[in-house]
Structure 1
């Protein structure tokens, strides 16, 4: 009898110990909270965001959200000075910027360079779109070439890639910004101005350049020297985001969808164009007509750093500071995410 009691006590002790040991295992296997969606920002008015927009739509439900904004949203620090530097806003004043926080944000390399002065942790991870810029000029203003821009009034959104494009074209003709009159306007207001004859020429992105060209008809001239400059529109992230294993996994998964989005943009852009028409409020046919002024590489261009080095010198002169060197700028590019996305 004493032996049976001892055996029973041992069995109960073992059961109690086993129950205590099982508790942590149950906690480990408890379902985890779903990850926060990846937030991808790009300005509402630009066509360059198209591949990202389609990639977000095709991602698994609830995993990606999009919003209007740009590189400043990586730190939730709006850049009101950029919008305030030009006139022609629809409401008479710049719209309030979206203060939201982005995991990925689209912009031309110009804004990456500008924001990286205060935020050197920004990283370019992929170039989705290249904008093939051009100058739209009025023939009636006596313009037949870049050289004829001397002394003319040119509408441009200052401190943007369109302003750098104008700089490059003028430089190629032996001119500088001091040889023309810069009229700082939004893209839409600039197109309106050249159509009305308030300015002689316009440097801007699509589809406003196409809208101006169509409205001017035979009086319009499209100036687009080969090899001058093309906008390099990329998705950017914070270095800290890319070091976080969970966020990095989300970014890589999104880049895989993005690669498919870029193929669609080149081969079958109809769905993307319709999405952009709804998002931007632009006419769908106008978007279709201006589409060939873009390329969609979903890569990191071989000359990306070269362009950034030259553009940094231009920006530094505007800011009255010393330009950063090539080694410093090279740290703003992180090719590792794209390699992971391609290595399925």
Structure 2
């Protein structure tokens, strides 16, 4: 870390007087800038997922709306919509990452999205991955949900990927294609390569990219003391995002942290490097863009959850850009 950045981090840390509790899914790469921010704020020597600055526990937005001890939570926008439907105090305050998911098909089954008509597509129903599958097959292939069969499969974080995981299922031909977040899709590609099975990758970030956001609640943000701590943490996270998104790639220290801190990766730095280009470390909050995504996606979530879709005006209250603006003052 550059000396100037260390000094800036040190100055920010001094304004944090208590430990924030953050709920994040520890099995996804997207959460790791939060952990890097905590480690660097503590001089880079902290172990685990906690320090005097913040503690990260496994979870997400479901935790922050049910447990008042949780101050921040990170998740994909799908889960935020699911929780916001019944908990209008939820707020998106920062976008940590955007990930252009990949759909991988056996080339013998299809080399175009339209060619997947009548095929079996593996994913996890009700998740951002399932929404991605529907969107890319609709927007790129012109297919509706009734034109293919969705098959439930499991993620895989490390080889060998066992029976029931998407890489295993696609490599053995029990499904024709699979769409999921990383590193499952990279391991799917690796499994097909090892088996000598030709494959085709479908990816279009303009059709769908996961927006992995940091959330709080209106109650937490209305508390002057707690808000001050959250603002200070956003300053730390902003600096961490700059390093994650460096044009020359992540440092060895960041790759090592990700590989050792994401559940199931077992220190596999080669796998982290392989999936890094799929991730964009946003480090910002583009409210209009996020709102457009929420409005379109909530129509799908509402259908899956059998409820009425929320209006654009209602969804606009899910986004609070004032916290980041406050963190960047001066």
Range class of TM-score, shorter chain = 0.7 to 0.9
Deviation of 1:321 after TM superposition, in Å, equals 2.4
The answer to whether the 8 Å contact 2:121/2:175 transfers is: yes
Residue 84 of structure 1: aligned partner:
none
Give the TM-score normalised by the residue count of structure 1. 0.80
What's the counterpart of residue 294 of structure 2?
308
Question: CA–CA distance in 2 between the matches of 1:306 and 1:75?
Answer: 23
Contact 2:17 2:229 in 1 (8 A): no
Structure 2 partner of 1:30: none
For the residues of structure 1 that align with 2:172 and 2:20, how far apart are their CA atoms? 43
The 5-angstrom pairing of residues 132-211 of structure 1 reads 132-140=100-108, 142-172=109-139, 173-188=141-156, 189-211=165-187
Q: Does 1:248 align with 2:211?
A: no
Of 245, 262, 276 in structure 1, the residue corresponding to residue 241 of structure 2 is: 262
Residues 222-268 of structure 1: CA distance to partner in whole angstroms, max 9, x if unpaired? 11135211000000111101111111111111111111111111115
Higher mean C-alpha displacement, 189-198 vs 235-244 = 189-198
Q: What is the correspondence of 1:264-343 to structure 2 with a 5 Å cutoff?
A: 264-267=243-246, 268-269=249-250, 270-280=252-262, 281-282=264-265, 283-301=268-286, 302-343=288-329
RMSD of equivalent CA atoms = 1.7
Q: Deviations over 1:146-190 (max 9, x none)?
A: 111111111111111111111111221221222111112232222
- The structure with more helix, counted as a fraction of residues: 1
- Is the 1:134–1:224 Cα contact (8 Å) retained in structure 2? yes
2:209 counterpart (192, 207, 230): 230
| 1:56 match | 38
Q: Structure 2 CA distance, aligned partners of 1:101 and 1:111?
A: 20
Deviation at 1:127, TM superposition (A): 0.3
Residues of 2 paired with 1:320 and 1:144: CA distance? Answer: 34
Q: Is the 8 A contact 1:75 1:101 kept in 2?
A: no
- CA positional deviation for 1:287: 1.0
Change (3 A) 1:106 1:326: same
- Deviation per residue, 1:57-82 (Å, 9 max, x gap): 123451211111111110346xxxxx
Task: Render the CA deviation track for 1:92-149: whole Å, top value 9, x for unaligned.
Answer: xxxxxxxx94211110110000011121110000001001111011113x21011111
**Within 1, Cα distance between the matches of 2:322 and 2:18?**
23
Q: Which has the larger radius of gyration?
A: 1
What does the per-residue CA deviation read over 1:19-56, in whole Å, with 9 as the maximum and x for residues that have no partner?
Answer: xxxxxxxxxxxxxxx95410122111101112111012
Q: Distance in 1 between matches of 2:116 and 2:142?
A: 11
Change (3 A) 1:63 1:225: closer
Do 2:100 and 2:205's aligned partners in 1 also have CA atoms closer than 8 Å?
Answer: no
Aligned counterparts of 1:273 and 1:68: Cα–Cα separation in 2: 20
Note the 1:13-162 alignment, pairs <5 A: 35-60=17-42, 61-76=51-66, 101-140=69-108, 142-162=109-129
